[in-house]
Amino acid sequence: MNIYNKNKILCLICARSGSKGVKNKNIKKFHGKPLIYWTIKQAKSLPEIKDVFISTDSKKIGNVAKKYGAKVPFLRPKKLAKDNSKEWDVWKHAINFFESKKKYFETILVLPVTSPLRNKNDIRNCINKFKKQKKKVDAIVTITDSSRNPYFNIVSENNGFINLVKGSNKKYFTRGTAPKVYDLCTVAFLVKTRLIKTKRHLFDGKIKSVYIPKERSVDIDTPLDFKFAEFLKKNANL
């Protein structure tokens, strides 16, 4: 018997304390509301998502999230809330928690707090693409245009010398002729729970993508990112 509920999505927002780039980033006021509010609002606007859960190590963050309708069924262990903690392990911890309560999900939808400019259709497009191709894919990720290209202008250093990351074939002399590449962005990750439980990395599975315009793909990591995202929110009607 298949114990996984194919019609249920585990929607998870990960929000640890201790942000170094922007202090108290996840609950810092962004366009008049705590940053985490925007992701909760986007998730709750979708009928495909029944509940929005928070994975955090902070009671303060948890209380803010609950104020806006999210659920905080556990506090994340401190060992999974360090600067070098793997997101993959955080996702696995949440899945294991729910399965210990006899709640099984076929997929987990992870919505990082740091992408507040996404809209609900960006999330819905991920869900719809997965539904159409679920027999062929293990995950849907979001991508956006990259400003750099490893075939043309991204270099690595080896023994004091630099070379193109993809420099073995130096036949590309303009950005336009180099193979198209994309940035993986943090708008959404929709992943089969089986992949997370049995593999060690997202790209151990078969992955497809949903394209996100650059202006909605901003990932807040630094104070400059925060100011830029606020500018876009205010001036670009996002």
Domain ranges of the chain: 5-141+185-210
> What number is the average pLDDT over the span 136-159?
91
- Give, in order, the Cα–Cα distances in Å from 208 to each of 32, 71, 114, 126: 35, 29, 22, 10
How much is the average pLDDT of 16-30? Answer: 92
Instruction: Indicate if the pLDDT at residue 6 is higher than 80.
Output: no
pLDDT of 222:
95
Range 5-141+185-210 classified under CATH 3.40.50.300: no
Give the pLDDT band (50/70/90) at residue 1. very low
pLDDT of residue 45: 96
Q: What's the length of the chain?
A: 238
Which amino acid is located at 137 in the chain?
A: V
In 3-121, the DSSP E strands lie at 5-14, 29-30, 33-34, 52-55, 105-110
